[in-house]
Structure 1
Amino acid sequence: MTEILRIELVSLNPESLEKVSRMFKEIADKMGVRVKGPIPLPTKRLRVTALRNPSGEGTNRYDKYELRIHKRIIDIPNPDERYIRSIMGITLPDDVKISIVLM
């Protein structure tokens, strides 16, 4: 039976997300572990429109805000125990959230 280690990275900052995914890939290349990814998922855009003048007098003006959430998936078929231990020691930036699932 084939095991797959799936690493999901989520961040608001795409530069730090790419940096962390590059670190995972470099460690896998050094250890000779096969890696699929990083696979970019669609960017989620959260949009908020707020009325600038809440008094109701004059013309209506709106402020538009947008928050973008970037995601990457890295799949590792048949992960090595040494690789799993080494990725646990990586220091992540505060704006990158990680989820590791063994399927």
Structure 2
Amino acid sequence: MSFVTRLTLQSGDRAALDSVVEDIRERVSRKGAEMKGPHSAPPDRLRVPTYKRPTSADGAQFDAWDYTVYKREIEIVGHDDLAHTIAAGSAFPDSVHVAAEVEQIRGLGS
């Protein structure tokens, strides 16, 4: 039985995100594990309204705050200890959000 660990990394700081992805790629390569990705999704462009007063009857606003969120997905096949170390034991920058999903793969006939 094997496990696939899917890491989803998101950040508004593209350089920090790419640095974390490259670090993971190097660690997986050194251990000889199988890695799929990183798969890039189109960036999300978000727009947040900013109001001049918290309780303004007139609804006066400043210019909206625009920002971009970048996303990468990586799959690590097998090497459960390595995947656990990367997902839970790594110190990622505060600007990078990491989510891990583990899926158990059963062979044919199991």
User: Shorter-chain TM-score: what band?
Assistant: 0.7 to 0.9
CA displacement 1:17-46 (0-9 Å, x = unmatched): 000011111110000001111111110001
Distance apart, 1:49 and its partner CA: 6.8
Match of residue 16 from structure 1:
16
Partners of 2:17 and 2:71 lie apart in 1 by 8
Q: What SS does the corresponding residue of 1:35 show, helix, strand or coil?
A: strand
Partners of 2:68 and 2:46 lie apart in 1 by 6
Match of residue 81 from structure 2:
82
Mapping 1:61-80, distance limit 5 Å: 63=63, 65-77=65-77, 79-80=78-79
Aligned length: 95
Match of residue 102 from structure 1:
102
Distance apart, 1:76 and its partner CA: 1.5
Match of residue 26 from structure 2:
26
CA displacement 1:35-91 (0-9 Å, x = unmatched): 1111111100013577xxxxxxxxxxx8454210100000122x2133124313321
Sort the Cα spacing of 1:46 and 1:2 in 2 relative to 1 into closer, same or farther, 3 A.
same
Partners of 1:7 and 1:82 lie apart in 2 by 14
Give the TM-score normalised by structure 1.
Answer: 0.77
Sort the Cα spacing of 1:64 and 1:24 in 2 relative to 1 into closer, same or farther, 3 A.
same
Give the TM-score normalised by structure 2.
Answer: 0.72
Q: What SS does the corresponding residue of 2:34 show, helix, strand or coil?
A: coil
Give the % identical residues.
29
Q: Which runs of 5+ in 1 are unaligned?
A: 51-61
